[in-house]
Chains A and B, each alone.
Chain A
Amino acid sequence: MVAFRSTDASGRVTGLLFRCVLYSLLALALIIIDKRYDHLGKIRRLLSVVAYPVQIAVASPFEGWHWFRDSVSTRDALRADKTKLEADLRVAQFRLQRYEALEAETQRLRALRENTAGVTDRFVIGDVMNVDLDAFRERVLVDKGASDGIYVGQAVLDSGGVFGQVARVGQLTSEVILISDAAHAIPVQINRNGLRTVAVGTGDTNRLKLPYLPTSADVVAGDLLVTSGLGGGFPAGYPVGSIAEVKRDPAQSLADVDVKPAAALDRSRELLFVWLKPQAEELPPPPKAAPVPKK
């Protein structure tokens, strides 16, 4: 006890132990409340607004550099870019030609099967902020938050495929957990044969795993994985990745399958936040109850 007391210049004894215990108890209480109950959401949202200036200050030199590089790029570079984009657009339009027809057909077939897998309704584009979060978790900070209607659990895509989902929402920013985070799992389907399973993150940005496939499962390297839409979190049919390697050990009952994510998890700057069309709209109205006979 005495060792924890310190005397300052005026001879006053300051209670270091007292303050230490007080703050520690406060911190412990915060941890327990944050973990057990969900009351801290509002406070956290407010605090994230306070943290926003720091994040902006850190990110702005990089944004400035990007802007500077863009504004001094030469005419030749811009022309080359333009040519490439035009070529890309041509290819994309070519692919789009049949898209409308195919979508209508899909909708018809879905209606036949009464499949209620979610269809994307609208989306918002967010930019990844140049801020590093915890080094040991696969998460990014995006400059769209509750004020843009972002909600927890929302699916996030990039131009290549599924990127992740929203883990936490602040007022102006939100935190996206990548599909490669060790705590993340996403329901998928092998595009070739419709085999359904779950893809689990590994903590390594360039690798996912399919831990629940039996050794005899019909899966080969190169197979495309798409979201199955089961669970309702993600829209169905978006690419998640391709099978990189299948290791089959006859002594084991489960195969060891590595997946390479389709999205550029470590490079994407622009992300798509997707809203699923409310499923109630697609369902036929419930049959009317038989009129109650009057007595």
Chain B
Amino acid sequence: MPMALSALVALALAVVPLPAVLDAFRPDFLVLVVFYWCIESPRAGGLSLAFFSGLALDVINGVVLGQHALALTLMGAWATNLRLRIRVFSMMSQCLVVFALLTGYQFVLFWVDGATGNPVTTFSRWLAPFIGALLWPVLLGVMGKVHER
């Protein structure tokens, strides 16, 4: 239940209107939440959450159906695979791992964009992983509170 709820809130945050200047800096909230669940409780179906969250992002963003789903599934699986190691990392190393995961996510999106013939080549799309990694400790704190209840 907290899983679905947090995913919904993150989905809403993904479409909340921001000033055009800040829009490029919007971190991928939903992706961070999916990573959190993949690392914390993979048994509760982290990968299914990843796939369906990705599908929701596809529909809401109006891109090729399956694009975000593919990226989230792959990176969610990677996060699940690394989870035992990530849990004992220091916060700094955790952020670095999350940065790598988010960059991989962006790369899959980038690749599908290119393969389907509408590439977005602006540099600013690579800012989101950076911001997302910086937000990871905050998300851990908030989600920890939610999870305890």
B116's partner among A26, A35, A168, A205 (CB-CB below 8 A) is A35
Binds B, one of A46-54, A104-112, A210-218, A284-292: A46-54
Do B116 and A31 touch across chains, with their CB atoms under 8 A apart? yes
B91 at the interface (CB under 8 A from A): no
For B63, list chain A residues within 8 Å (CB). Answer: 134
Binds B, one of A55-63, A78-86, A193-201: A55-63
For B124, list chain A residues within 8 Å (CB). Answer: 135-136
B140 at the interface (CB under 8 A from A): no
Bound state CA distance, A266 and B17, in angstroms? 13
Do A51 and B56 touch across chains, with their CB atoms under 8 A apart? yes
* Distance to closest chain A CB from B83 (angstroms): 8
B23's partner among A9, A135, A139 (CB-CB below 8 A) is A135
A28's partner among B12, B66, B122 (CB-CB below 8 A) is B66
B51's partner among A3, A16, A23 (CB-CB below 8 A) is A23
* Distance to closest chain A CB from B105 (angstroms): 13
Do B61 and A134 touch across chains, with their CB atoms under 8 A apart? yes
* Distance to closest chain A CB from B21 (angstroms): 11
Do A30 and B62 touch across chains, with their CB atoms under 8 A apart? no
Do B47 and A133 touch across chains, with their CB atoms under 8 A apart? no
A4 at the interface (CB under 8 A from B): yes
For A167, list chain B residues within 8 Å (CB). Answer: 62
Do B15 and A47 touch across chains, with their CB atoms under 8 A apart? no
A20's partner among B43, B65, B74 (CB-CB below 8 A) is B74
Bound state CA distance, A57 and B11, in angstroms? 11
Do A16 and B47 touch across chains, with their CB atoms under 8 A apart? yes
* Distance to closest chain A CB from B106 (angstroms): 11
B120 at the interface (CB under 8 A from A): yes
Bound state CA distance, A50 and B59, in angstroms? 9
Bound state CA distance, A141 and B48, in angstroms? 28
For A29, list chain B residues within 8 Å (CB). Answer: 66
For B50, list chain A residues within 8 Å (CB). Answer: 23
* Distance to closest chain B CB from A57 (angstroms): 6
Contact A30 B59, CB 8 Å, known A19-B47, A23-B47, A62-B17: no
For A134, list chain B residues within 8 Å (CB). Answer: 61-63
B132 at the interface (CB under 8 A from A): no
Contact A47 B59, CB 8 Å, known A26-B51, A40-B65, A54-B15: yes
Bound state CA distance, A178 and B70, in angstroms? 28
* Distance to closest chain B CB from A265 (angstroms): 11
For A34, list chain B residues within 8 Å (CB). Answer: 64-66
* Distance to closest chain A CB from B45 (angstroms): 9
A233 at the interface (CB under 8 A from B): no
Do B15 and A31 touch across chains, with their CB atoms under 8 A apart? no
Bound state CA distance, A50 and B54, in angstroms? 14
Beta-carbon nearest neighbor of B16 in chain A: A58
Contact A8 B43, CB 8 Å, known A24-B73, A131-B17, A133-B61: yes
Q: Which residues of B contact A (CB under 8 A)?
A: 8, 11-12, 15-18, 20, 23-24, 26, 42-43, 47-48, 50-51, 54-56, 59-67, 69-70, 73-74, 76-77, 80-81, 112, 116, 118, 120, 122, 124-125
Known: A8-B43, A9-B43, A175-B62; 12 extra A-B contacts, CB below 8 A, are: A4-B81, A16-B47, A16-B77, A19-B48, A27-B69, A28-B70, A35-B116, A48-B59, A133-B61, A134-B62, A183-B118, A203-B122
